[in-house]
Structure 1
Amino acid sequence: MEAFLVSTGLVALAEMGDKTQLLSLLLAARFRKPWPIVAGIFVSTVANHALAGAVGAWVTNVLGQQTLRWILGASFIAMAAWMLIPDKLDDDEADTEGSHLGVFATTVVAFFLAEMGDKTQVATVMLAARFHAWAQVVAGTTLGMMLANAPVVWFGDRLVRKVPIRLVHGVSAVIFLLLGAAALAGVGS
């Protein structure tokens, strides 16, 4: 249960102000069809995070426990620093004009590509390696993505303007820093 809850909370926080949250806002404004957009976000996230979680589970089997502890500690600390860098939506990712795909397929493809190498994908790899609980981590990170992105699709701009993104990113950075320090100290190993 700890893996699920930590994964949900971390990804929900990490996703605030992230480019995929901006992509959610863009898709909602462009298509104005929230249900297929939310369904596309869900399908894309499950696929992307299942792959990332599998990589994390594989890494735990390949590396020794001591090596993994140091890599995870350093990775969580690096993630804390990365949380303090604001995301922007790249112009090529924002271009849904002229797409011949439907709303659902456009969302699946755009989200899957936007998540490649993103903070939440990297966090999913690290969390799966840390907790040795692929299914719980993938379920938690997927729920965290949905908690952060689905309201943006439905409530859009009003919601994003009321959330102090810098504060959310700061809290996320502190949590990742604490997880990194705990991993380096061998807590929970």
Structure 2
Amino acid sequence: MISRFTLRRLCAALALFCATLPCLGQAFTLKGTVYSKVAEELQIDPLLLYAVSIKASGKYQGGGLISPSPFVIRSSQLTKHFNSKEKAQSALNSVLETTTWVEVGLMQISIHYHPQEEPSTLLDPYTNLKVGGQLLKNSIASSNDPVIGVGRYFTWKSEDESRTHGREVWSIYSHIRALSYQEQGGNQ
């Protein structure tokens, strides 16, 4: 699990990242990516799916850039971004020998709350996004408030905590949308 301090630092880094990209003039698009494919299949916004994955598995890449990480494993025993599927799979198998309290991949799917027949399939970006996207759809449908609904992807503990997570995702989303809008020349 990630501590509140670490989460706050990550969110601050994400806010800095999102705030600086438009100034750098970097374009952003999800066309032709696994995000757009899964989003089309599930009928959800690909930018929202991407924003949730940034919050869930974002990894600082240097130069002010953060990207989702497909090979990240989080548990009480281990929190690590791996540089290969094989290394992540080995670590996942090892951690699963002692606990199911493990979160896996781009969308940080909880093995405890969402058991998988073969947990290592969640290291595949398409599978992870498909499972996470369906969970996101369900959490959004659970509330008339889109901020709370999105926040419930991360926690159902309380509306306040869900709202906090939802606000962070929608902030990331709005920055990504602005970049996407710039990429398309203002025509969305």
- Normalised by the length of structure 2, the TM-score is 0.25
Structure whose residues are more often strand by fraction: 2
Structure whose residues are more often helix by fraction: 1
